[in-house]
Amino acid sequence: MERRVLTSICQATNSSKSAHVPKPYFMKKFQQDKRTKKVAEKALVSLIAHGYVSLHKTRNEMTYQLTDTGLDVCREIFQKYGKGIKLR
């Protein structure tokens, strides 16, 4: 699930480290049921704890940004599985 959440963030940010996206923008894929949503939320917390994603507080909401490590992992995933997204 962590890989799915990370690739969702990569796609939402267009693989840019400078982009900050709010959670609903990339978590909407994981809203099928309560269990999936809960597992995706835990995966997001784990990605933050392991340094793949950073959390930023803005005036109205929290936003999320890829770190260098997170972007590197995204590139590896997309090269291996070919998700068809343009990487920078």
End-to-end CA, the chain = 24
pTM for the predicted model, two decimal places: 0.86
Q: Are 12 and 25 in contact (CB under 8 A)?
A: yes
CATH architecture label of 2-81: Orthogonal Bundle (1.10)
Alpha-helix residue ranges (DSSP H) falling in the chain: 2-12, 23-27, 34-49, 68-81
pLDDT in tens, 17-74: 899 999 999 998 898 889 999 999 999 999 999 999 999 998 888 999 999 999 999 9
